[in-house]
Amino acid sequence: MKTFFNLIQEVQKPGRCHRCGGCVTFCTAINYGALKIDDEGKPCYDEIEKCIECGLCHAICPEIDELEEEIRRRANWSEPMGRVIETSVARATDKAILEKATDGGVVTALLLHLFDRGRIDGAIVTRQTGPFQRAPFLATSREEIIAAAGFFFDTSHGMKQFSEQYMTYSSIEEFDPMVKKGLKRVALVGTPCQINSVRRMQAMGLVPSDAIKLCLGLFCSGNFVFGEAERAELAELGGFDWAQVRKVNIKDALLLHLNSGEVKSIPLNDLYAIRRYACQFCSDYAAEFADISFGGIGAAEGWTTVLTRTPLGRASLADAKGSGSIEEFDYKQNASYVTDALASVRGGSAQKKKNARHIRRGHTPAPVSLRE
C-alpha cells in the first residue's frame, strides 16, 4: 500500500502538488495527525512516527488516478468538461454585495441565501489577511460570509483551517449544540483541485467530507504567488502603481481596476512566471466536480457565468433566484449570450487541458529522499 512517502516521490518532488490540503485535512481529522502544512503551504510530515500507513492520503490526492473513474461516475461526468445541466449569466441583487464582489457576487449571494434559509450552517471560504492576500476560513455568520467576498491575488493553502475546526468542534459537540449544528451542513467554495480532493474523500466515506453538503467551484486559470518581487514585476509590466489599484479580477486576462476608473489588462500568458508551478499540470479549469461552477469569463463586467452541474446545485440556485437574491441577465437583449458564455468557458477549459497534456508528456519525475 502506498503512503504519504509515495506522495512525496510521485507528486511533491516532480512539482505536481497543488497544495489543496486534502491529505492533511484527512490525517488531522481522523488519523493521529502525522501530517501538517508547513509555512509555505506544502503538506509534510509533522511526526512521522504517528503515521499508521493507511494509504488514504495517497488515494485522495487529485494527482493520483486511483479514484478518478469512481468520482467521474458519481458526478455523471461527461466530455468535454464535466456535466452541465444549465448555464446562466447572473448577479446578486444586493448592491452592497455587488460593490464588494469580484464579478457578479453570485457566490456570496447564494451562500447568504442558503444560510438565511437554514440550508447551510457555515461555509469554507477565503478571507482577506492582508493587501491582496487570503487564507482559508470557516464562516459561520452573515458578516463573515460577506467579509469573504472579493478577489485577493495570492495563493490559498487549501483546507487546513477546516480540518482544525472540524477536529475541535467534533470533540466538543456533545457539550455545545450550536457548534454541533454548525458542522453538519457546510458549503465549500474552492478551486478545482480542492473540490476534486473532497469528492475523493466522499467517494471513500471519509470524515470530514461528510459535513460538506455543497461544493461551489471557481473557474481557475492557476493559483499565483504574490510576494513583493511579483508585485513589482506586475507593476512594471502593466505600468501602474499598486497604491492606485482598487480591485483585481481575472477573466481572459488579469484586470486591474484603478481608482481613476482606468482598467489595466495583462494577458494571462504573461503571468506564468508567477503562477504556482504545479498549476501547469492541472487540466481542470471549470471545477468539473462541483455542484455549481462560477467565474467571470464569458460575462460582462459585473456579471457571473454560472454552470449548474448537479440537481442539488440547480435546486439551490433556483431557490436563490426565486427569493430575489440573484437575478439573471435579460436574455431578450442578447439571445446568444448564454451560448457564447458557455463557449468561452469551454474554450478556457480546452486550452488548460491542452497545456496540461503537453506539460505531462515532457515531464519526467526526479528521484527524491524523505528529508527533502
The highest-confidence range among 202-216, 231-245, 331-345, by mean pLDDT, is: 331-345
pLDDT at 113: 98
pLDDT at 29: 64
Spatial CB neighbours of 335, under 8 Å, sequence gap ≥ 6: none
Q: Taking residues 2-20, what's their average pLDDT?
A: 93
Q: Where are the domains of the chain?
A: 67-221+279-361, 226-274
User: Measuring CA to CA, which residue among 23, 4, 30 is closest to residue 207?
Assistant: 30
pLDDT at 178: 29
Average pLDDT, the chain: 84
User: Measuring CA to CA, which residue among 167, 199, 194, 164 is closest to residue 21?
Assistant: 194
pLDDT at 126: 81
pLDDT at 242: 87
Q: Taking residues 106-127, what's their average pLDDT?
A: 93
Q: Name the DSSP class of 224.
A: B
Q: Using CA of residue 37, residue 43, residue 47, residue 50, what is the dihedral sign?
A: positive
Query: Do the Cβ atoms of 233 and 223 come closer than 8 Å?
Result: no
pLDDT category of residue 132 using cuts at 50, 70 and 90:
low
Q: How many CB atoms lie within 10 A of CB 273?
A: 11
pLDDT category of residue 63 using cuts at 50, 70 and 90:
very high
Position 283 pLDDT exceeds 90: yes
- Segment 146-157, tens digit of pLDDT: 988 876 544 455
Spatial CB neighbours of 197, under 8 Å, sequence gap ≥ 6: 20, 21, 22, 23, 25, 60, 61, 62, 159
pLDDT at 338: 95
Q: Taking residues 256-266, what's their average pLDDT?
A: 89
pLDDT category of residue 203 using cuts at 50, 70 and 90:
very high
User: Measuring CA to CA, which residue among 69, 63, 76 is closest to residue 283?
Assistant: 63
User: Measuring CA to CA, which residue among 253, 240, 200 is closest to residue 26?
Assistant: 200
Amino acid at 214: L
pLDDT at 161: 54
Instruction: End-to-end CA distance of the chain: give it in Å, rounded.
Output: 22
pLDDT at 269: 80
- Cell readout for 188 is 465549500
Phi, psi of 76 (to 5 degrees): 50, 40
Query: 4-41: b or e for each residue (b if 16 or more CB lie within 10 Å)?
Result: bebbbbbbbbbebbbbbbbbbbbbbbbeebbbebeeeb
- Segment 138-188, tens digit of pLDDT: 888 999 999 888 765 444 555 555 555 443 333 322 223 223 345 678 898
Q: Taking residues 7-27, what's their average pLDDT?
A: 89
Position 235 pLDDT exceeds 80: yes
Return the CATH fold of 226-274.
Nuclear Transport Factor 2; Chain: A, (3.10.450)
pLDDT at 41: 79
- Stated as kind and residue range, the H or E segment containing 13 is none
Q: What percent of the chain has pLDDT over 90?
A: 50
Alpha-carbon distances of 154 from 15, 119, 131, 243, 266, rounded to whole Å: 18, 30, 9, 17, 16
- Segment 45-58, tens digit of pLDDT: 999 999 999 999 99
Position 194 pLDDT exceeds 50: yes
Q: Report the alpha-carbon angle 84-19-48, nearest 5.
A: 135
